[in-house]
Amino acid sequence: MEALKAIILLAIGFVLLIKGADFFVDGASSVAKTLKVPGLIIGMTVVAMGTSLPELAVSVTASMNNSNTLAVSNVVGSNLFNLMVVLGSSALFSTLMVSSDTLKRDFPFSIVCAAILAFLGIIGFKKDGSFGKAMELDRVDGIIFLALFALFMYMMIHAALKARKAGTEPAEDVKEDAEESEEIKTLPMWRSLLYIVGGIVAIKFGGDWVVDGAVSIAKMIGISETLIGLTIVACGTSLPELVTSIVAARKNELDMAIGNVVGSNIFNILLILGVAATISPIAIITENLIDIVVLIVFSLLVYVLCGKDKDLSKKEGIIMLVLYAVYLVYICMR
């Protein structure tokens, strides 16, 4: 009975997270548009962050509940799922094209973010200000991540506005966000505020219930929170990215699928772990470091596959899915 209750709690939590994120993005985007905020800025902030709200809610809730291993494994697991399953599945529908900006700027930056996560997880600031063995992400690390996130957003927006002013085509990923923002409907202010408040409430309770359900299942089955975070929670919170990228691939918006995943992975590490670590220090265990290294290796592999012909083919998508399946077997056996 307890197991069924935990599973139901987990499922309802996922639904609340995803629908809450949808309502929040719709309401916030409508308010921004009403206030004459440029569509480009809306697309690169509110809309772009929308698919990362479930991970944010789960990781912050886990951090506040001292289930810190779940916070890290959720982010790393989501990034691995995004990279290998979301892109691999999308490539099955159609060959995915990769823009030059994604190859030159965004993809390498996402790999650097994962490397910084590994570095700060092993080596961090001591209380006397020196570097030493840490095995945790503390508030200083969280602030570093948030500062890097702010810098990345500034660079993206600055490059986009510069391109627009020069009368040239904006970067592909920026162009996608701008096009997506053009589809935003302007809602009455009362409805926009209702969407925002309702979305926040749904995300809050959804995050609580996902964490509670996941922790309960882990305890009942006798497995670690890390494994639950890398599998069930990571897959559940990555559903928005999966749906968005597959739909984009089926509609032949082929560069949008990759841009969505890479951008989400950067947001997950810098914004989500930045916020979570600032709230409460996050312990890093050996399994976390191994998974981060796997993320870096898989990222380099996919980057090479993308850079070879500036696309991801169906064959390469199958290879990525098989590698992810092998990784799943490994984490279940360890």
- Please report where in the chains the tokens 């032949």 appear, as a residue: 252
| 29 and 44 Cβ atoms separated by less than 8 Å | no
| 268 and 79 Cβ atoms separated by less than 8 Å | yes
Reported as a pLDDT band with limits 50, 70 and 90, residue 79 is very high
Entry field: residues in the chain: 334
Query: What distance in Å separates the CA atoms of residue 118 and residue 137, rounded to the nearest whole number?
Result: 10
Region of poorest pLDDT, from 19-28, 127-136, 141-150: 127-136
Region of poorest pLDDT, from 84-88, 216-220, 290-294: 216-220
122-to-114, 118, 269, 271 alpha-carbon distances in Å: 13, 6, 16, 20
3-state secondary structure of 226: helix
User: How many Cβ atoms from other residues are within 10 Å of residue 104's Cβ?
Assistant: 12
Region of poorest pLDDT, from 97-106, 168-177, 310-319: 168-177
Mean pLDDT confidence for 26-45: 67
Reported as a pLDDT band with limits 50, 70 and 90, residue 274 is very high
Query: What distance in Å separates the CA atoms of residue 246 and residue 97, rounded to the nearest whole number?
Result: 14
pLDDT at position 111 over 70: yes
Each residue's pLDDT tens digit, 136-164:
888 889 999 999 999 988 887 777 677 66
Helical packing angle, 286-309 and 314-333, nearest 10°: 170
Please choose, from the candidates 51, 34, 33, 50, the residue with its C-alpha nearest in 3D space to the C-alpha of residue 42: 33
117-to-71, 282, 283 alpha-carbon distances in Å: 13, 12, 12
- Please report where in the chains the tokens 């809730």 appear, as a residue: 61
Dig out the tokens for 301 from the structure.
Answer: 């592999």
The pTM is what? 0.77
At residue 255, the pLDDT reads 57
Reported as a pLDDT band with limits 50, 70 and 90, residue 326 is very high
User: How many Cβ atoms from other residues are within 10 Å of residue 161's Cβ?
Assistant: 15
pLDDT at position 234 over 70: yes
Mean pLDDT confidence for 187-206: 84
Q: How confident is the prediction for the chain on average, in pLDDT?
A: 79
User: For the chain, how big is the Rg over CA atoms in Å?
Assistant: 19
Beta strand 311-312 with 96-97: parallel, antiparallel or unpaired? antiparallel
Largest CA distance in the chain: 63
Top mean-pLDDT range of 77-81, 186-190, 260-264: 77-81
Please choose, from the candidates 245, 236, 281, the residue with its C-alpha nearest in 3D space to the C-alpha of residue 264: 245
